[in-house]
Protein backbone atom coordinates (compact mmCIF):
# COMPACT_ATOMS: atom_id res chain seq x y z
CA UNK A 1 0.00 0.00 0.00
CA UNK A 2 2.75 2.39 0.96
CA UNK A 3 4.53 1.66 -2.31
CA UNK A 4 1.36 2.50 -4.28
CA UNK A 5 0.95 5.77 -2.44
CA UNK A 6 4.46 6.76 -3.51
CA UNK A 7 4.23 5.54 -7.10
CA UNK A 8 0.92 7.18 -8.00
CA UNK A 9 2.03 10.77 -7.30
CA UNK A 10 5.42 10.08 -8.90
CA UNK A 11 3.68 8.71 -11.97
CA UNK A 12 1.48 11.79 -12.20
CA UNK A 13 4.54 14.04 -11.95
CA UNK A 14 6.29 12.11 -14.74
CA UNK A 15 3.20 12.35 -16.95
CA UNK A 16 2.87 16.05 -16.23
CA UNK A 17 6.53 16.73 -17.05
CA UNK A 18 6.38 14.59 -20.19
CA UNK A 19 3.20 16.37 -21.28
CA UNK A 20 4.76 19.76 -20.59
CA UNK A 21 7.85 19.15 -22.67
CA UNK A 22 5.92 17.30 -25.36
CA UNK A 23 3.48 20.14 -25.75
CA UNK A 24 6.35 22.60 -25.60
CA UNK A 25 8.09 20.85 -28.47
CA UNK A 26 4.85 20.89 -30.47
CA UNK A 27 4.38 24.61 -29.85
CA UNK A 28 7.98 25.31 -30.84
CA UNK A 29 7.55 23.41 -34.11
CA UNK A 30 4.33 25.27 -34.77
CA UNK A 31 5.99 28.61 -34.02
CA UNK A 32 8.91 27.71 -36.31
CA UNK A 33 6.49 26.83 -39.10
CA UNK A 34 4.51 30.06 -38.69
CA UNK A 35 7.71 32.09 -38.75
CA UNK A 36 8.93 30.33 -41.88
CA UNK A 37 5.57 30.90 -43.59
CA UNK A 38 5.62 34.58 -42.66
CA UNK A 39 9.17 35.03 -43.99
CA UNK A 40 8.13 33.31 -47.22
CA UNK A 41 4.99 35.45 -47.60
CA UNK A 42 6.99 38.64 -47.02
CA UNK A 43 9.75 37.54 -49.42
CA UNK A 44 12.40 37.94 -46.71
CA UNK A 45 14.15 34.62 -47.23
CA UNK A 46 17.40 36.29 -48.30
CA UNK A 47 17.26 38.97 -45.61
CA UNK A 48 16.11 37.37 -42.35
CA UNK A 49 17.63 34.42 -40.49
CA UNK A 50 17.68 33.01 -36.94
CA UNK A 51 19.39 30.30 -34.89
CA UNK A 52 16.47 28.79 -32.97
CA UNK A 53 12.77 29.14 -32.17
CA UNK A 54 11.08 27.97 -28.98
CA UNK A 55 7.63 28.43 -27.48
CA UNK A 56 5.91 28.01 -24.14
CA UNK A 57 3.75 24.87 -23.84
CA UNK A 58 0.52 26.69 -24.65
CA UNK A 59 2.13 28.89 -27.28
CA UNK A 60 1.69 32.09 -25.27
CA UNK A 61 5.36 33.12 -25.55
CA UNK A 62 7.62 32.63 -28.55
CA UNK A 63 11.38 33.18 -28.27
CA UNK A 64 13.64 33.56 -31.31
CA UNK A 65 17.40 33.58 -30.73
CA UNK A 66 20.23 34.81 -32.93
CA UNK A 67 18.14 36.93 -35.30
CA UNK A 68 19.93 38.61 -38.20
CA UNK A 69 18.47 41.01 -40.77
CA UNK A 70 20.27 42.30 -43.84
CA UNK A 71 18.78 45.17 -45.84
CA UNK A 72 20.39 43.96 -49.07
CA UNK A 73 22.77 41.17 -50.03
CA UNK A 74 26.40 42.27 -49.79
CA UNK A 75 25.48 45.76 -48.54
CA UNK A 76 26.81 45.39 -44.98
CA UNK A 77 23.58 47.03 -43.75
CA UNK A 78 22.81 44.52 -41.02
CA UNK A 79 21.01 44.32 -37.70
CA UNK A 80 21.40 41.52 -35.17
CA UNK A 81 19.48 40.70 -32.00
CA UNK A 82 20.50 38.15 -29.41
CA UNK A 83 16.87 37.41 -28.57
CA UNK A 84 13.40 38.37 -29.75
CA UNK A 85 10.49 37.42 -27.49
CA UNK A 86 6.82 37.66 -28.46
CA UNK A 87 4.17 37.33 -25.76
CA UNK A 88 0.59 38.27 -24.83
CA UNK A 89 -0.34 37.30 -28.37
CA UNK A 90 -3.88 37.75 -29.69
CA UNK A 91 -4.44 37.48 -33.44
CA UNK A 92 -8.14 37.87 -34.17
CA UNK A 93 -10.22 39.77 -36.70
CA UNK A 94 -11.47 42.22 -34.08
CA UNK A 95 -8.35 42.40 -31.90
CA UNK A 96 -4.59 42.29 -32.26
CA UNK A 97 -2.30 42.31 -29.25
CA UNK A 98 1.40 41.57 -28.91
CA UNK A 99 4.37 42.45 -26.75
CA UNK A 100 7.72 42.28 -28.52
CA UNK A 101 10.91 42.41 -26.49
CA UNK A 102 14.20 42.62 -28.40
CA UNK A 103 17.46 42.20 -26.49
CA UNK A 104 21.07 42.75 -27.50
CA UNK A 105 20.47 44.69 -30.72
CA UNK A 106 23.61 45.62 -32.63
CA UNK A 107 24.15 47.27 -36.01
CA UNK A 108 26.88 46.82 -38.59
CA UNK A 109 29.40 49.70 -38.90
CA UNK A 110 27.96 50.83 -42.24
CA UNK A 111 24.38 50.90 -40.96
CA UNK A 112 25.56 52.70 -37.85
CA UNK A 113 27.23 55.27 -40.09
CA UNK A 114 23.90 55.96 -41.76
CA UNK A 115 22.18 56.22 -38.38
CA UNK A 116 24.66 58.90 -37.28
CA UNK A 117 23.44 61.14 -40.09
CA UNK A 118 19.98 61.41 -38.54
CA UNK A 119 19.18 63.57 -35.57
CA UNK A 120 21.33 66.12 -33.89
CA UNK A 121 21.63 66.79 -30.22
CA UNK A 122 20.46 70.34 -29.63
CA UNK A 123 22.37 70.68 -26.38
CA UNK A 124 19.49 72.51 -24.64
CA UNK A 125 20.05 75.67 -26.65
CA UNK A 126 23.83 75.56 -26.64
CA UNK A 127 24.05 75.52 -30.40
CA UNK A 128 25.52 72.05 -30.79
CA UNK A 129 25.10 71.30 -34.47
CA UNK A 130 26.10 68.58 -36.94
CA UNK A 131 26.45 65.96 -34.20
CA UNK A 132 24.63 62.67 -34.29
CA UNK A 133 23.63 61.28 -30.87
CA UNK A 134 26.76 59.14 -30.72
CA UNK A 135 29.26 61.72 -31.85
CA UNK A 136 27.81 64.42 -29.60
CA UNK A 137 28.45 62.15 -26.62
CA UNK A 138 32.01 61.30 -27.56
CA UNK A 139 31.23 57.74 -28.68
CA UNK A 140 32.11 56.16 -32.00
CA UNK A 141 30.22 52.89 -31.45
CA UNK A 142 26.77 51.93 -30.27
CA UNK A 143 26.68 49.28 -27.57
CA UNK A 144 24.04 46.52 -27.90
CA UNK A 145 20.71 47.92 -26.76
CA UNK A 146 17.25 46.63 -25.78
CA UNK A 147 13.80 47.73 -26.85
CA UNK A 148 10.21 46.70 -26.13
CA UNK A 149 7.03 47.36 -28.10
CA UNK A 150 3.48 46.62 -26.97
CA UNK A 151 0.35 47.14 -29.08
CA UNK A 152 -3.27 46.33 -28.31
CA UNK A 153 -5.86 47.29 -30.95
CA UNK A 154 -9.36 46.38 -29.77
CA UNK A 155 -12.23 47.00 -32.18
CA UNK A 156 -14.89 45.98 -29.65
CA UNK A 157 -13.71 48.70 -27.28
CA UNK A 158 -12.68 51.10 -30.03
CA UNK A 159 -9.27 51.58 -28.40
CA UNK A 160 -5.60 51.43 -29.22
CA UNK A 161 -2.87 51.22 -26.57
CA UNK A 162 0.84 51.17 -27.18
CA UNK A 163 4.04 51.11 -25.12
CA UNK A 164 7.55 51.64 -26.38
CA UNK A 165 10.80 51.55 -24.43
CA UNK A 166 14.38 51.91 -25.62
CA UNK A 167 17.50 51.59 -23.48
CA UNK A 168 20.74 52.78 -25.06
CA UNK A 169 23.67 51.98 -22.71
CA UNK A 170 25.77 55.04 -21.85
CA UNK A 171 23.43 57.24 -23.89
CA UNK A 172 19.76 57.52 -22.90
CA UNK A 173 16.55 55.66 -22.05
CA UNK A 174 13.12 56.42 -23.47
CA UNK A 175 9.71 55.16 -22.38
CA UNK A 176 6.51 56.12 -24.19
CA UNK A 177 2.91 55.11 -23.55
CA UNK A 178 -0.20 56.37 -25.31
CA UNK A 179 -3.84 55.45 -25.52
CA UNK A 180 -6.46 56.32 -28.14
CA UNK A 181 -10.22 56.00 -28.03
CA UNK A 182 -13.11 56.32 -30.48
CA UNK A 183 -11.35 54.14 -33.05
CA UNK A 184 -14.01 52.19 -34.89
CA UNK A 185 -12.77 49.08 -36.75
CA UNK A 186 -9.14 50.22 -36.67
CA UNK A 187 -7.83 46.67 -36.31
CA UNK A 188 -9.91 45.43 -39.25
CA UNK A 189 -8.77 48.42 -41.27
CA UNK A 190 -5.12 47.60 -40.63
CA UNK A 191 -5.75 44.02 -41.73
CA UNK A 192 -7.37 45.22 -44.93
CA UNK A 193 -4.40 47.49 -45.53
CA UNK A 194 -2.01 44.57 -45.06
CA UNK A 195 -4.03 42.49 -47.52
CA UNK A 196 -3.86 45.33 -50.06
CA UNK A 197 -0.10 45.69 -49.57
CA UNK A 198 0.33 41.93 -50.03
CA UNK A 199 -1.68 42.11 -53.24
CA UNK A 200 0.36 45.04 -54.50
CA UNK A 201 3.61 43.21 -53.71
CA UNK A 202 2.49 40.09 -55.56
CA UNK A 203 1.20 42.10 -58.51
CA UNK A 204 3.20 45.34 -58.98
CA UNK A 205 0.98 46.27 -61.93
CA UNK A 206 -2.11 46.26 -59.74
CA UNK A 207 -3.79 49.69 -59.75
CA UNK A 208 -4.11 49.74 -55.99
CA UNK A 209 -7.60 51.27 -55.78
CA UNK A 210 -8.37 49.10 -52.80
CA UNK A 211 -5.15 50.25 -51.13
CA UNK A 212 -6.14 53.89 -51.66
CA UNK A 213 -9.62 53.29 -50.24
CA UNK A 214 -8.22 51.50 -47.19
CA UNK A 215 -5.71 54.27 -46.61
CA UNK A 216 -8.48 56.88 -46.81
CA UNK A 217 -10.58 54.89 -44.33
CA UNK A 218 -7.70 54.70 -41.87
CA UNK A 219 -6.99 58.41 -42.26
CA UNK A 220 -10.63 59.15 -41.49
CA UNK A 221 -10.51 56.85 -38.44
CA UNK A 222 -7.43 58.57 -37.08
CA UNK A 223 -9.07 61.94 -37.64
CA UNK A 224 -11.94 60.93 -35.35
CA UNK A 225 -9.67 59.25 -32.79
CA UNK A 226 -9.43 60.82 -29.36
CA UNK A 227 -6.35 61.02 -27.18
CA UNK A 228 -6.99 59.34 -23.83
CA UNK A 229 -3.49 59.48 -22.30
CA UNK A 230 0.18 59.97 -23.07
CA UNK A 231 3.27 59.52 -20.94
CA UNK A 232 6.87 60.13 -21.94
CA UNK A 233 10.01 59.58 -19.91
CA UNK A 234 13.50 60.62 -21.06
CA UNK A 235 16.45 59.60 -18.89
CA UNK A 236 20.07 60.51 -19.41
CA UNK A 237 22.52 57.58 -19.24
CA UNK A 238 25.57 59.70 -20.05
CA UNK A 239 24.64 61.33 -23.36
CA UNK A 240 23.96 64.77 -21.87
CA UNK A 241 26.88 64.73 -19.46
CA UNK A 242 29.44 63.87 -22.14
CA UNK A 243 27.83 66.18 -24.70
CA UNK A 244 28.06 69.08 -22.26
CA UNK A 245 31.73 68.30 -21.61
CA UNK A 246 32.44 68.32 -25.35
CA UNK A 247 30.49 71.53 -25.83
CA UNK A 248 32.42 73.24 -23.05
CA UNK A 249 35.75 72.13 -24.49
CA UNK A 250 35.18 72.79 -28.19
CA UNK A 251 32.25 75.24 -28.26
CA UNK A 252 33.56 77.91 -25.89
CA UNK A 253 35.19 81.06 -27.33
CA UNK A 254 38.31 81.47 -25.18
CA UNK A 255 40.14 84.70 -24.44
CA UNK A 256 43.88 84.00 -23.93
CA UNK A 257 44.13 87.10 -21.71
CA UNK A 258 41.15 86.23 -19.46
CA UNK A 259 42.81 83.66 -17.24
CA UNK A 260 41.93 80.03 -16.48
CA UNK A 261 40.41 78.30 -19.54
CA UNK A 262 38.25 75.87 -17.54
CA UNK A 263 36.77 78.75 -15.57
CA UNK A 264 35.93 80.53 -18.84
CA UNK A 265 34.25 77.39 -20.14
CA UNK A 266 32.12 77.00 -16.99
CA UNK A 267 31.10 80.66 -16.99
CA UNK A 268 30.24 80.64 -20.69
CA UNK A 269 28.21 77.45 -20.29
CA UNK A 270 26.25 78.84 -17.31
CA UNK A 271 25.57 82.06 -19.23
CA UNK A 272 24.34 80.06 -22.22
CA UNK A 273 22.01 78.02 -19.99
CA UNK A 274 20.60 81.14 -18.35
CA UNK A 275 19.88 82.61 -21.78
CA UNK A 276 18.24 79.41 -22.89
CA UNK A 277 16.10 79.26 -19.74
CA UNK A 278 14.86 82.81 -20.18
CA UNK A 279 14.10 82.34 -23.87
CA UNK A 280 12.35 79.05 -23.18
CA UNK A 281 10.12 80.53 -20.48
CA UNK A 282 9.37 83.59 -22.61
CA UNK A 283 8.32 81.37 -25.51
CA UNK A 284 5.99 79.26 -23.38
CA UNK A 285 4.53 81.91 -21.08
CA UNK A 286 1.83 82.99 -23.52
CA UNK A 287 1.28 79.81 -25.54
CA UNK A 288 1.69 77.04 -22.96
CA UNK A 289 2.21 78.31 -19.39
CA UNK A 290 1.58 74.83 -17.97
CA UNK A 291 4.78 73.66 -19.66
CA UNK A 292 7.13 76.35 -18.29
CA UNK A 293 8.55 73.87 -15.78
CA UNK A 294 10.08 72.04 -18.75
CA UNK A 295 12.54 74.90 -19.14
CA UNK A 296 13.86 74.63 -15.59
CA UNK A 297 14.05 70.84 -15.76
CA UNK A 298 15.96 70.97 -19.05
CA UNK A 299 18.49 73.33 -17.48
CA UNK A 300 18.80 71.02 -14.46
CA UNK A 301 19.44 68.03 -16.75
CA UNK A 302 22.16 69.94 -18.58
CA UNK A 303 23.68 70.93 -15.22
CA UNK A 304 23.62 67.35 -13.99
CA UNK A 305 21.11 68.18 -11.23
CA UNK A 306 18.44 65.91 -12.72
CA UNK A 307 18.53 62.58 -14.59
CA UNK A 308 15.72 63.37 -17.00
CA UNK A 309 12.18 64.53 -17.72
CA UNK A 310 8.76 62.93 -17.22
CA UNK A 311 5.83 64.27 -19.27
CA UNK A 312 2.24 63.10 -18.79
CA UNK A 313 -1.01 64.02 -20.52
CA UNK A 314 -4.46 62.93 -19.42
CA UNK A 315 -7.09 65.20 -21.02
CA UNK A 316 -9.98 66.17 -18.79
CA UNK A 317 -11.98 67.01 -21.92
CA UNK A 318 -12.20 65.44 -25.37
CA UNK A 319 -9.13 65.99 -27.58
CA UNK A 320 -9.04 64.59 -31.10
CA UNK A 321 -5.73 63.66 -32.70
CA UNK A 322 -6.53 66.08 -35.50
CA UNK A 323 -6.71 68.89 -32.92
CA UNK A 324 -2.99 68.53 -32.15
CA UNK A 325 -2.23 70.36 -35.41
CA UNK A 326 -3.20 73.57 -33.58
CA UNK A 327 -0.06 73.33 -31.46
CA UNK A 328 2.00 74.42 -34.45
CA UNK A 329 0.04 77.62 -34.90
CA UNK A 330 0.68 78.96 -31.41
CA UNK A 331 -1.40 81.78 -30.00
CA UNK A 332 -4.72 81.50 -28.13
CA UNK A 333 -5.84 78.31 -29.94
CA UNK A 334 -2.63 76.53 -28.95
CA UNK A 335 -2.92 77.76 -25.35
CA UNK A 336 -6.52 76.49 -25.04
CA UNK A 337 -5.51 73.11 -26.44
CA UNK A 338 -2.58 72.75 -24.01
CA UNK A 339 -4.94 73.53 -21.11
CA UNK A 340 -7.36 70.95 -22.43
CA UNK A 341 -4.59 68.34 -22.59
CA UNK A 342 -3.92 68.91 -18.88
CA UNK A 343 -0.14 68.19 -19.04
CA UNK A 344 2.10 67.50 -16.07
CA UNK A 345 5.90 67.65 -16.14
CA UNK A 346 8.39 66.58 -13.50
CA UNK A 347 12.08 65.77 -13.08
CA UNK A 348 13.40 62.23 -12.77
pLDDT tens for each residue of 82-135: 999 988 888 888 888 889 999 998 876 665 555 554 433 333 333 333 334 555
- Which band of pLDDT confidence, cut at 50, 70 and 90, is reported for residue 2? very low
Rank 48-57, 173-182, 211-220, 249-258 by mean pLDDT and report only the highest: 173-182
Mean pLDDT for the stretch of residues 2-8: 43
- Say what the pLDDT of residue 286 is: 77
In this predicted structure, the answer to whether residue 139 has a pLDDT above a threshold of 70 is no
CA–CA gap between residue 229 and residue 342 (Å, rounded): 10
Q: Does pLDDT of 207 surpass 60?
A: no
DSSP 60: S
- Angle, helices 261-287 vs 331-341, to 10°: value is 90
φ, ψ for residue 300, nearest 5 deg: -65, -35
Task: Give 173's pLDDT tier (boundaries 50, 70, 90).
Answer: very high
Query: Is the confidence at residue 219, as pLDDT, over 50?
Result: yes
Q: How many CA atoms lie within 13 A of 227 on its CB side?
A: 23
Mean pLDDT of the chain: 79
Sketch the domain layout of the chain as residue ranges.
61-347
- pLDDT at residue 163 tops 90: yes
For residue 193, what pLDDT band results from cuts at 50, 70 and 90? confident
pLDDT surpassing 50 at residue 43: yes
- The CA distance from 173 to 240, in Å, is 12
Q: How far is CA 122 from CA 61, 116, 132, 243, 271, in A?
A: 40, 14, 10, 10, 16
Alpha helical stretches, state H, 251-303? 261-287, 293-302
Please say whether the beta carbons of 146 and 139 come within 8 A: no
Please report which confidence band the pLDDT of residue 59 belongs to, taking 50, 70 and 90 as the band edges: low
Query: Which of these ranges, 28-37, 111-120, 256-265, 287-296, has the smallest mean pLDDT?
Result: 111-120
H/E stretch holding 246: helix 239-250
Q: In this predicted structure, what is the pLDDT of residue 45?
A: 80
- When pLDDT is averaged across residues 139-147 and rounded to a whole number, the result is 80
Q: pLDDT tens digits, residue range 10-27?
A: 555 665 666 666 666 768
DSSP class per residue in 147-180: EEEEEEEETTTTEEEEEEEEEETTTEEEEEEEEE
The answer to whether residue 326 scores a pLDDT higher than 90 is no
Eight-class DSSP state of 119: -
Amino acid sequence: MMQKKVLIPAGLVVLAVAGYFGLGAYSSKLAQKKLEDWVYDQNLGDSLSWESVSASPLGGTVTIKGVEFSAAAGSDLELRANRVQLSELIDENNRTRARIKIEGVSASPKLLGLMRQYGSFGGYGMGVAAYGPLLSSGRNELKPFDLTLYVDANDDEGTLESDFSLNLPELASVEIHYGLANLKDFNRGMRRLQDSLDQLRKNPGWLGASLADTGADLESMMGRAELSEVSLSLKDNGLVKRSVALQKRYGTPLDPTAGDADKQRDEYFEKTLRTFGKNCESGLRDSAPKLIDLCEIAVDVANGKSRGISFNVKPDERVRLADLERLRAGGPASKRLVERLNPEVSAL
